[in-house]
Amino acid sequence: MPTLSRRLELLPLPNAVGKGAEDRGVAWRGLVGGGALLLATGCQGSQSALDPAGTAAEEIAVLFWVMAGGATIIWLVVIGLFAYAIWVEPRPHEPRRSRLWIIGGGAIVPTLILTVLLAFGLEMLPRLLAPPPQGSRQIEVAGAQWWWRVRYLQDDGDPIELANEIRLPVGQPVQLLLESEDVIHAFWVPSLGGKIDMIPGRQTRLTLHPTRTGVFRGQCAEYCGASHTWMAFHVIVMPEQEFGQWLAAQQHPAETPRGEEAERGAAIFRARGCGACHTVRGTDARGVVGPDLTHVGSRHQLGAGTLGTELEDFEQWLQGPEHFKPEVRMPAFDMLSPEELRALAIYLQGLQ
């Protein structure tokens, strides 16, 4: 998919305005075509509130279109009156008629329209805020600078912890219990539902009810420091059975990756003290400062949405995480030789 800057380059932008009617025509067509292209590409994708994949997002999309439609009608009426005022033959004002226009158009009509739109918006609020049915799955998500701690609560036993990725079964409502470990963050997966703040010392709740499978991008939506932009995650909505298998696999401790290099990587992981910050269940790494790495190799992305999960991505991240996430708390391991970095990357990628 072309990047936005590339898309802009491809647009037939007007560079000949004022050189004649034909050029102006080209310019206008370029503007209209470019605008339509931007609009069309902006409506789709894995992070679009206008391409809903959840019940709450569907309601919010309807609200948007109704508001946009209402605003368009009002705009057309105002522009129409403006044009009429310019083109009409000037004549003396009749005080009574003028008053009618001012009171009617300036007070009564806007009040009526805003009341109708407000009622329409408020009417859907109880549905958007309603908790899911009793017994629905609960997932704790905590925002931290600049990643996401995710814990699947279990009826029996300890929660299953992972990071920077949430998987959900399609067609089932889940309740997210949201909090923060440091500053205010905001949880937002535009394709699935509304946006809600994550506040230190307080729990906020959000219900997501995905209606189709797919990979959807979430993004922190409250400025929270240098790497706010790089605080993303993915929500992977999957068929129920597949989800059950995935969660069962996540519950298991890590299987130690086999092979000479992976074993060397595991030794480096221990020797360099990585376990002081990270947990790898099934080993003596039990740190809780950073993301749980038990199954890091099976995740969709690395560094909370900043890198892929190829070996090179692991190496680059280990070598200098601050290049991808300014002010990140993880130190750079650039003192390791290329061979050591590769071995560590092979070990981490092998944690499936």
The answer to whether residue 185 forms part of the interface with ligand CUA (CB under 6 A) is: yes
| 142 versus 266: smaller Cβ distance to ligand CUA | 142
Positions 40 through 69 that interact with ligand CUA (CB under 6 A): none
The answer to whether residue 328 forms part of the interface with ligand CUA (CB under 6 A) is: no
At 279, the amino acid letter reads: T
Contact status, residue 179 vs residue 200, Cβ threshold 8 Å? yes
| 160 versus 307: smaller Cβ distance to ligand CUA | 307
At 184, the amino acid letter reads: I
Part of the chain binding ligand CUA (CB under 6 A), chosen from 63-71, 120-128, 218-226, 297-305: 218-226
The token duo for 135 is 């017994």
Sheet architecture: strand order including 214-219: 165-169, 232-238, 214-219
Burial (CB count within 10 angstroms: exposed 0-12, middle 13-18, buried 19+), residue 258: exposed
Stated length of the chain:
352
The answer to whether residue 224 forms part of the interface with ligand CUA (CB under 6 A) is: yes
Which of 142, 162, 220, 343 forms a contact with ligand CUA (CB under 6 A)?
220
Least distance between ligand CUA and beta carbon 124 (Å): 27
Contact status, residue 297 vs residue 291, Cβ threshold 8 Å? no
Question: Among positive and negative, which fits the CA dihedral 280, 182, 184, 223?
Answer: negative
Least distance between ligand CUA and beta carbon 228 (Å): 3
Positions 118 through 157 that interact with ligand CUA (CB under 6 A): 143, 146
Cα separation, 149 vs 163, whole angstroms: 5
| 185 versus 209: smaller Cβ distance to ligand CUA | 185
Where do we find the tokens 């309740």?
A: 175
Part of the chain binding ligand CUA (CB under 6 A), chosen from 6-14, 45-53, 215-223, 247-255: 215-223
Burial (CB count within 10 angstroms: exposed 0-12, middle 13-18, buried 19+), residue 220: buried
| 195 versus 300: smaller Cβ distance to ligand CUA | 195
The answer to whether residue 231 forms part of the interface with ligand CUA (CB under 6 A) is: yes
- Binding letters toward ligand CUA, positions 284-313, x by CB under 6 A: ------------------------------
Contacting residues toward ligand CUA, per CB under 6 A: 143, 146, 185, 220, 222-224, 228, 231
